[in-house]
Structure 1
Amino acid sequence: MSRAASDVSGAGLTVATLPGTLLLEDSTVGLSLRVHEGIALIAYDQPGSPVNTLNSRVGPVFEQFFLRIEQDAAIVAAVLVSGKTDSWIAGADIEELQRITAPVDGERLSRSGQLLLDRLAALRKPVIAAIHGAALGGGLEVALACHHRIITDHAKTVLALPEVQLGLIPGAGGTQRLPRTVGLQVALDLILTGKNVRARKALPMGLVHELVHPAILLDVAMQRARQLAHGDRSAVRERRPGLVERALEENSVGRAIIFRKARESVTKKTGGHYPAPFAALDVIERGYRESFAAGLLEEAKRFGELAVSPECRQLAYLFFATTSLKKDTGLPAGQNVAPRAVHKLGVLGAGFMGAGITAVAVQAGTVVRLKDGTVERLASGFKAVRDVVRERLVKRQITRVQFDDTMSLVGGTVDYRGFANVDLVIEAVFEDLDVKHQVLREVEETTPAAIFASNTSTIPIRDIARAAKRPEQVLGMHFFSPVHRMPLLEVIVTPETSAETTATAVAYGKQLGKTVIVVQDGAGFYVNRILAPYLNECGRMVDEGASIEDIDKALVQFGFPVGPFTLLDEVGLDIAGKSGPIMEAAFGPRMQPSATLRAVIASGRLGRKARKGFYRYDADGKRQGVDDSIYAMTPVGARRRTLPVEEIQQRAVLPLLNEAVRCLDEGIIRSPRDGDIGAVFGIGFPPFRGGPFRLLDTMGLANVVAQLDALHARFPGRFEVAKLLRARADRQQPFHP
């Protein structure tokens, strides 16, 4: 075994111990070239960064290395490795992309990447990509240009071309090499969604050639390099297209059908708001219609155009905002308090939310004690947890052994046995203050050291903490439904919540894989507070005679994933019925639910889960259309009138933006960044618009104030401009300088 391989324990390679003689090195970018028994080892370990990225400084060094490999007769093959513990190459340097100001600059950057990888692919000596960790974006494009790809069978090893998630397309040849590697249909699925491919899926789809244990990655890569250098391809696994793939993809008629269906799917999923997937389709299609070289030219041109598009700017902003939150402890600047470790979690309530929290906790490796009042409810909760974890098993993201190990972390109880040593308790019980007081008292008696977190969606935490002996250990951890899919966690703190309690909740939220924002206590906190006026105004438009379907359609056209009435049906009208009075009591008439919404809730409709809400549902829960009987409950009866789409969008969205500014002014949120992330990740605010505060800046604050003033004149009490918004408009001071 080589010295390097002996240092590998599933966490990457130690570049300092790679075997061989050092030939070339550039310490400023972190690239080195060694030769060992005729094999060149190219190691990348970008200094001062947890991941390797590609930028304009790295390219020339790679070019120099490729030239040396080609010209040195003592070198017969090369292996490309990373010195990072869980990352190979994580893609392009996003900050460098943000400095592009003109399409021609983006096109030039793309062409330079393409030419570099063309150079790599054309090397007469085989280059093996030895991949452990994430190979994303430009990283995967580098791997695709290599002659052989070996990856580790490890949870950290994922492959993806996620550029569309930043409003871009692959710009270093990925749109042309991936389809020719895995087939057109598979490539379109990966490029148009940006989805991750786990190691065990990458092998059968032909994306890689071999799958090995991390401890032998370098040994196998060097052995394969020697074999390929001598023309021995006996160990190479070649992808063989299936009959259906050949019938469709190997002729122009079949490919035309594939591209047409892909465009229809993208249009349906994006509403036409995101230009990147359509550009990707154009580029890939040109490569098939004309040539690989023509596809590259089109790729560079479209990359340059997209790099300066508004959608790319907003999505890149969200990327940076999310990245900065990963480093945010949740505490004020300069306050350094270590969080507690959470080894064991107690969850109260085995219903939909409690089971969801349990599922994400056990998948993060936490031992969970799940409590409910009856064995029957516990059994139902266990099934819900099992269903979430099994989904990963079915998708081959985990093995059967990992599934069994994960499920073994869950224990159930109908009392508090097993709670004495839990570090954190999250309650997800009935949304009733008396019930929450009762369980808080019981927890404090049973688990004197545990932090108590409420998953309430609207009840102020200070009201819950009134029953606490240790209010400094009480806070809110507001998860969103469904817990295993929704990325946001609101951590709600009161003036009495200790720094250690806050830091622990934030750190544990990140451990669960959530994007965490810290908000101050108040009715509805942040996300539900800004959602309330949006939903209420949509209800008032129905009061006036607008149709449910028109309103839903207009807001989907604006960019929301679903319309407001679809959302209410999905969340559950019973939950909306409990939050409405709380919000009205806290904020007065401007938060009063519409007459229609109150009537629908009073009628006992629960939404999709009971097959009856604003829409009708069949026995399988599939939506059948608007329930027209609702219109009889409106103030104007069955009569309907058509409102312009622009008015629907204006009346629904502006109160949301206005309320977000109030939350900032009152200190509910700490920054416009947190407000943008909370809205996008919590309620599906359109990502291509960047969030409420980014949208306000884009629209122009003075323009927004004028629109709100006009609406306030028509509908007194609901559209009064937030003081901070008017002040910033007067000063011409945007929220994002």
Structure 2
Amino acid sequence: MAKHKSILNTEIISGVAIVTLDTPDEKVNKLNEALIEEFSGFLDQLESDEELKGAVLLSGKDENFIAGADIEMFKTRETSEELAELSWTGHEILLRVEQCKKPIVAGIHGSCMGGGTELALACHYRIVSDHSDTKIGLPEVKLGLLPGMGGTQRLPRLIGLQKALPYLLTGKNMYPRHARRTGFANEVVHRHALKDAGISVVNKRTEKTAKHPDKRSLAEKALESNPLTRKVIFSQARKQTIGKTRGNYPAPFKIIESVEYGYKNGFEKGLKNESKLFGELAVTPESRALVQLFFAMNRAKKNPFEKKAKEVKNIGVLGAGLMGSGITEVSVEDGIHVWLKDQSLENAAKGEADIDENLQEKIDKKIISSFEKDELMSRIHPTTSYENFDQIDLVIEAVFEDLELKQKIVKEVEENSSEHTIFASNTSSLPISDIAAKAKRPENILGMHYFSPVQKMPLLEIIKTEKTADWVIATAYEVGLRQGKTVIVVEDGPGFYTTRILAPFINEALLMLEEGASIEQLDKAMKQFGFPVGPVALLDEVGIDVGAHVAGVLSDTFEERGAKTSKKAAELMEAGYKGRKNNKGFYKYGDGSKKKEINEEIYKFFGGTTRKEFKEIEIQQRLALVMVNEAVHCLGEGILDNATDGDLGAILGLGFPPFLGGPFRYIDREGSGAIVERMEILQTELGDRFKPAGLLTKHAKNNTPFHD
């Protein structure tokens, strides 16, 4: 059997072991069994070699220390006991680090996540680089898990309970300035000074580091040192967690339980209990769904067409509004130059100013430096003309949803660019083949559907037509990855995939309003189901005018199947209701209040202010099932290539509850037969919009899942 290449590279400088972690043939270091085995061998050497004073741990990767535990280890373990044992294996190696009589220093540059952070916590001293690439976190909660290598025990003891809980419960990142302020980092230095700083620390100490400085405030110390006031902290944490998760995610509650148990019963028992809870969480359906989502996102971040992709240095973005400026911002962050074109220089300059403001916020948060901001802004070129567009590799159009306007822009771009320039439309519903109908080079045209706000929404939906060239798809995919997006590729058609499944969801909410449901109950029920915002609030955010336009594009598709479609969005638009964008929607805006207040006036379009109560389960089933059923239609019609893309698109683009795994994993979890049965009852009561898709009925009949 061939021996695997070494992960640890060690050099001795003045009696200090400089250990560089560098996993061969991988972009990132992951904490896995091979690394643990090698590290155990190194600890044997460190403990037995009297000439070694201590060790400094560094990474051989440019952008990461350790990206976290290797989730692939989960695939070989199925029971909670096996997974708890895996967690304890990690504890054993980190206890050796912590209990080593010689100082071990972690020198952190780049991404330090999960098991990497837990390794750093077990070290005796932590030095963090001041670079904007450096971020530290315990994101296990996002996988439905808790940190299983001491994170729930060591972080609260290091930086304090009240500072630690937000990092543990949300998985948010800690940047260099936060690392210094909380006390996680003993020092913050330039990335190239990590090695020398680490050697200096080891040479100053013949034994492991002295007591860590306590950076908690007097109030924090007082609250955390008393068992009674600690109980209040944990009680408040649970209360806030219920408010945020609505009880749909078990992991945050187990994290609180793990931390509290450790405070009550001591560190060693806390570690044992942490492993037990880790195993229990790892086999929950919520964690299974989130872990599968993680694998799917990782797969989507590898361009399957990479070899056909062409290099992109320059992009043209047409339209400097919210979407156009967002696309520009995520593009310049990866070194791409963007010509931001609008009808007037004033509009283009406003788009540039919006980006400048966003980057300034990053400076204020110490995420980037002033120099980095200036460098990013220098890549933006506001313009009102197509001058230099012959040098543009990709044009992304982000103008109003008007077919004639988009066709006109295609003609202008083709006249002013090279024969190799790709044209991408950011349309949310118009078929790309219609936009390309009069084009000279339809093979260069595709859709690149971004979601608002572009800077935060992780999905890019690429839409290909029958004529789109493979190299065009490949290049657009590569650009999406460079912009930090998770990419799915779908076939052309009205609404493609995401808009197509969102439309019946919004339509059902409007129909229920016509039946007498209240705005508040609809939104509350779907948030309880697991959506981040309710359907009515979402329509306000998307724009009632946009909703009316989408309904117009898709109504024929749905009505051909006998579905009932609401005309209320068009009616509201004609009356001047556009939602948040003009402060006139289902909710009131513009008063500065964070709490949303219902706009009672809008009920005149839905039969008056007297509303009736619906059962929460009825609201949830009606809205969720029309979306899920439409996803199956898309798979059956070939709009989707596979169920995994359907799950990714729904979760990352539309906020479908991640803990349910997406429409197709939701069907598998509930059972196709059960879903068909529910839909047939609704079809009998409410009409053919609930008729189960043919593919869904087939899966129910054969008792086959959509996923292996």
With structure 1 as the length reference, what TM-score do the two structures score? Answer: 0.91
Aligned counterparts of 1:121 and 1:41: Cα–Cα separation in 2: 18
Aligned counterparts of 1:530 and 1:42: Cα–Cα separation in 2: 51
Aligned counterparts of 1:70 and 1:53: Cα–Cα separation in 2: 24
Q: Choose which of 167, 172, 186 in structure 2 pairs with 1:195.
A: 172
The match for 1:394 is 364
1:427 CA displacement = 0.8
Aligned counterparts of 1:337 and 1:227: Cα–Cα separation in 2: 52
Q: Secondary structure at the match of 1:516?
A: strand
Letter in 2 for 1:438: K
The match for 1:154 is 131
Aligned counterparts of 1:597 and 1:419: Cα–Cα separation in 2: 38
Aligned counterparts of 2:4 and 2:175: Cα–Cα separation in 1: 32
Q: Secondary structure at the match of 1:347?
A: strand
* Counterparts of residues 479-490 of structure 1 (less than 5 Å): 479-490=450-461
Kept in 2: contact 1:98–1:313 (CA 8 A): no
CA displacement 1:487-524 (0-9 Å, x = unmatched): 00011111111111111100000000000101111111
C-alpha change, 1:441 and 1:487, in structure 2 (3 Å) is same
Unaligned stretches of 5+ in structure 2? none
C-alpha change, 1:73 and 1:473, in structure 2 (3 Å) is same
Q: Secondary structure at the match of 1:492?
A: strand
CA displacement 1:9-43 (0-9 Å, x = unmatched): xxxxxxxxxxxxxxxxx845634555443222334
Aligned counterparts of 1:672 and 1:651: Cα–Cα separation in 2: 22
C-alpha change, 1:29 and 1:646, in structure 2 (3 Å) is farther
Aligned counterparts of 1:373 and 1:37: Cα–Cα separation in 2: 65
The match for 1:734 is 705
Letter in 1 for 2:74: L
* Counterparts of residues 503-542 of structure 1 (less than 5 Å): 503-542=474-513
* Counterparts of residues 136-535 of structure 1 (less than 5 Å): 136-229=113-206, 238-329=213-304, 331=305, 337-448=307-418, 449-535=420-506
The match for 2:98 is 121
The match for 1:11 is none
Letter in 2 for 1:612: K
In the alignment, is residue 667 of structure 1 matched against residue 642 of structure 2?
no
The match for 1:646 is 617
Aligned counterparts of 1:681 and 1:306: Cα–Cα separation in 2: 23
C-alpha change, 1:623 and 1:69, in structure 2 (3 Å) is closer
* Counterparts of residues 28-43 of structure 1 (less than 5 Å): 30-31=7-8, 33-43=10-20
The match for 1:631 is 603
Letter in 2 for 1:446: N
1:629 CA displacement = 2.6
1:727 CA displacement = 1.2
In the alignment, is residue 97 of structure 1 matched against residue 74 of structure 2?
yes
1:262 CA displacement = 2.1
Q: Choose which of 49, 54, 58 in structure 2 pairs with 1:81.
A: 58
Q: Secondary structure at the match of 2:614?
A: coil
- Larger mean CA deviation between 438-447 and 236-245 belongs to 236-245
Q: Secondary structure at the match of 1:159?
A: strand
CA displacement 1:530-550 (0-9 Å, x = unmatched): 011111111111111122211
CA displacement 1:40-63 (0-9 Å, x = unmatched): 233433344332222344434433
The match for 1:657 is 628
Aligned counterparts of 2:38 and 2:665: Cα–Cα separation in 1: 38
- Larger mean CA deviation between 456-465 and 535-544 belongs to 535-544
The match for 1:616 is 588
Q: Secondary structure at the match of 1:393?
A: helix
C-alpha change, 1:570 and 1:177, in structure 2 (3 Å) is same
1:133 CA displacement = 2.8
Letter in 2 for 1:614: F
Unaligned stretches of 5+ in structure 1? 1-25
C-alpha change, 1:27 and 1:736, in structure 2 (3 Å) is closer
1:152 CA displacement = 2.7
1:154 CA displacement = 3.0
Aligned counterparts of 2:567 and 2:375: Cα–Cα separation in 1: 51
1:622 CA displacement = 4.2
Kept in 2: contact 1:100–1:307 (CA 8 A): no
C-alpha change, 1:266 and 1:379, in structure 2 (3 Å) is same
- Larger mean CA deviation between 472-481 and 155-164 belongs to 155-164
1:349 CA displacement = 0.8
Aligned counterparts of 1:507 and 1:431: Cα–Cα separation in 2: 26
Q: Secondary structure at the match of 1:617?
A: coil
CA displacement 1:184-221 (0-9 Å, x = unmatched): 22211111111122334322322122233333332332
C-alpha change, 1:231 and 1:483, in structure 2 (3 Å) is closer
Aligned counterparts of 2:42 and 2:59: Cα–Cα separation in 1: 15
Aligned counterparts of 2:22 and 2:343: Cα–Cα separation in 1: 54
1:584 CA displacement = 0.8
- Larger mean CA deviation between 291-300 and 664-673 belongs to 291-300
C-alpha change, 1:622 and 1:144, in structure 2 (3 Å) is closer
Q: Secondary structure at the match of 1:625?
A: coil
Kept in 1: contact 2:563–2:688 (CA 8 A): no
Letter in 2 for 1:389: L
Kept in 1: contact 2:545–2:569 (CA 8 A): no
Letter in 2 for 1:96: M
Aligned counterparts of 1:367 and 1:679: Cα–Cα separation in 2: 31
Q: Secondary structure at the match of 2:391?
A: coil
Q: Secondary structure at the match of 2:389?
A: coil
Kept in 1: contact 2:559–2:565 (CA 8 A): no
- Larger mean CA deviation between 202-211 and 543-552 belongs to 202-211
Aligned counterparts of 1:322 and 1:466: Cα–Cα separation in 2: 33
Aligned counterparts of 1:55 and 1:408: Cα–Cα separation in 2: 42
- Larger mean CA deviation between 209-218 and 179-188 belongs to 209-218
The match for 1:3 is none
Q: Choose which of 127, 130, 133 in structure 1 pairs with 2:107.
A: 130
The match for 1:10 is none
Letter in 2 for 1:611: N
- Larger mean CA deviation between 194-203 and 477-486 belongs to 194-203
Aligned counterparts of 1:59 and 1:339: Cα–Cα separation in 2: 38
Aligned counterparts of 2:633 and 2:132: Cα–Cα separation in 1: 43
Q: Secondary structure at the match of 1:346?
A: strand
C-alpha change, 1:189 and 1:638, in structure 2 (3 Å) is closer
Q: Choose which of 533, 536, 549 in structure 1 pairs with 2:520.
A: 549
Aligned counterparts of 1:113 and 1:575: Cα–Cα separation in 2: 51
C-alpha change, 1:427 and 1:225, in structure 2 (3 Å) is same
1:337 CA displacement = 4.2
Aligned counterparts of 1:154 and 1:669: Cα–Cα separation in 2: 40
1:237 CA displacement = 8.6
Aligned counterparts of 1:362 and 1:668: Cα–Cα separation in 2: 31
- Larger mean CA deviation between 494-503 and 577-586 belongs to 577-586
Kept in 1: contact 2:182–2:215 (CA 8 A): no
- Larger mean CA deviation between 127-136 and 471-480 belongs to 127-136
Letter in 1 for 2:106: A
Q: Secondary structure at the match of 2:204?
A: helix
Aligned counterparts of 1:390 and 1:266: Cα–Cα separation in 2: 31
Aligned counterparts of 2:259 and 2:208: Cα–Cα separation in 1: 32
1:679 CA displacement = 0.3
Kept in 1: contact 2:308–2:471 (CA 8 A): yes
In the alignment, is residue 580 of structure 1 matched against residue 556 of structure 2?
no
